[in-house]
Amino acid sequence: MRSNPVRAAVDSVANSRGRSMRHVLVGLGLTAGAVALSALIARMNAPTPDNPEIYSDYEELAQPDLKPPPRVFAMVWPPLFMALTLSGLRIWNAPASAARTQALTLWGAVQALNAVWMALGPRRLGGQLSAAVASLGTAAAYVWRARRVDPPAANMVAPYVGWIGFANVLTEELWRKNPEARTMH
């Protein structure tokens, strides 16, 4: 019996051998939806040319010395979000086990913390720094747990963990340079 080359490619990328197409599509919907929601929250809370300041009751924040241009963020986030989606999908498609459930739970927590971190924005530095640190720790725990379930899924998230670590450095520097923005108003 001949195998379908498209299905074989999907199975290889999505770790879905032996899974029904319905299972794969539900997983894709859940993982892409969670990541898209985080990205949407980030977009809604990002300054725009029409509205450069989301929270106008603050003075201009002193910026970190090593802050990359916004163009870099725009180029880096889409591939990282795609890797997060594919990693979550690969774990979703792995055989059922306690390790898989733990990895999926951590993956979901990473998405929730991303949404919180991005929703807080740079004007709520104390909360943003807390969410960023929690996000980094949770993402590292996800990589550790995912490695036991599907090593390629864990490898896909390693660049995200590095980027979140760098983002934590930027957030901490913002927090340090702007003590007046640490409080909630």
pLDDT, one tens digit per residue, over 87-99 is 999 999 999 999 9
Global pTM reads: 0.75
Q: Predicted confidence band at 54 (pLDDT cuts at 50, 70, 90)? A: very low
Mean confidence (pLDDT) of the chain: 79
The CATH H-level superfamily of 5-182 is TspO/MBR protein (1.20.1260.100)
Do 9 and 55 meet the contact criterion of CB atoms below 8 Å apart? Answer: no
Mean pLDDT of 80-93: 92
SS3 7: helix
Token pair 């986030």: residue = 77
**Residue 155 to residues 69, 81, 124, Cα–Cα distance (Å):** 27, 14, 32
The share of the chain scoring above pLDDT 90, in percent, equals 29
